[in-house]
Structure 1
Amino acid sequence: MPESKVRPIYQPGASSVEGLPTSFQMFHNTPLVMVKPHWHAQVEVNFIVRGEVHYRMHTHEMTLQAGQMCLFWGGLPHQMDDRSEDAIYAGAHLPLIHFFRLRLPEHVPQQLMQGTTLFTQATDASDDHNFARWNAYARSGDGVKAQHAVNELLLRLERVRFEPFSLLGGSSESVEGAPSEAFDVQSSRTVGKMCDFIAQNFLNDIDSIDIATAADLHPKYAMSIFKRSTGMTLNEYVSLLRLSYAQALLLREDANVLHIAMESGFGSLSAFNKSFRKIAGMSPSDFRRDAGAFPEQRQGWS
């Protein structure tokens, strides 16, 4: 890609995807280059309207060009580290409660959760128009329009199963789309119910028993079906939401690591440090220090 002058750099903020880990958000803009990987508790959809972008994912790298689309799990660290000067991209961040409404081929959701990227170039001119309209609807302040945007986007993503697609990364590299497979609708509804409860209560002191009770399930069954569907335990998912939220708080000028640990739902500083280091590879204090290295170029996004 061409060399560029100083570019705005992406940093998490209180109103960005990290700070709102249970929200549905859409975007249609010029992407901001990231100086370091980030993560969030939503599935991400990217459609390249113009130019190209380069991603460093958890298990692989990829370049996306105009007319190409991808779907990946944002809960694993990823980084858009380069783009062309004319790049425009569109897409969405889907909380798991929306993701599990999708009728994708049976093998796809869990592989996405494990770090693969669903990639397709079977797009057309209607996608350019639709992503712009969905973004306008989602940001309109009209709840009916916003819900319509969600519903149409999910239908568009489901259409992927009828067209050629690839799963990039790990052992799934370049696996072509297969014919329709059985889809366990009841399991997805059950997982969605658990995700809904977690979304409303992740900052509180909740455990697997609370989550199972909210979904009218036995705790062992709830843990089993959630793990089978997402590749994560219930505790890991709750922790991810808290870490996403904390990641945004750490960028505030008055950030205090102990206060953030408690505000994010962690019972102690040691538990927060351990969980944060596991996903970020560094302590919260080091993350905050490194993220402040480019103050003159910072821009949040929402």
Structure 2
Amino acid sequence: MQIRRLPRHEKIHVTGPLSFALREFDLPAFDHGWHQHPEVELTWILEGSGLRHVGDSVEPFGPGDFCLIGANLPHMWSSPPRGAGNRARSFVIQFDPARFGDAFRQLPEMARINQLLAEAAHGICFGDDGASLRQLMEQCRTPIQHLTRLLEVLDSLVDHPRKRQLSLAPWHPVPNRKTDPRVERALAFIAQRWDQPLSQAQVAMAVGLSPAAFSRFFRRHVGRTFQAYLTEMRMSFATRELLETDRTISEIAFAAGFANLSNFNRAFRAIRGMSPREFRRRSLAPA
């Protein structure tokens, strides 16, 4: 299922001696909005947390989050401003594969990178392994070193042990639908409260709609019901916690915003087809 919002087209400006953009951002919050661009993007989160939207994937993110976003795949990292002293820092590389030229991309040495870029049409997460990317790029002293190092990084990601697809399907934008600013307000409101008791009526009030009108509005623009969207975010968080931490299932359930363990187990089984305990056991069992 896909988020039914027409993404804003962003123009990436590349200046200087490099053929790609390499930048570090330091902002009060991640609030760039739902957008897309023909450039492939590598993003490593240095500081900040919130929700990462990539195609039809919605997941919590935090420091260390490292992703590859394919060409024209809509995405956004969103976080509410949390007052003075809080930061939203990221290290970003954006490049257009078309600039390599057909002859270069057809070289046999490019086969693995071409495979990775094809997979990136869904968006890829690599866990929290972005530190090496920044270190490698900062060691470069000449433009050609930057380019060859970028190719080396991409090649190394093909076999990354924590590589995980994000969006269930490549993005196909829905035509003739204008972005409604109330969508962004609703998503921002949810992003601040998804791990707390949260009702559709609360979000509806925050954007100035009745619960019934908001229900239709949300499904039309986001492509799923409010409850399905909220459960998806909570399940994404819970899944990551089950795989990457030693927290108990009860701790994870309450941290994900569920009122009790029974509700969490029921929701998890409905989505994953097994209990959280069985999911953790199978996922972490030696191959």
TM-score norm. by structure 1 comes to 0.43
> Larger Rg: 1 or 2?
2
Structure with higher RCO (Cα < 8 A, 6+ apart): 1
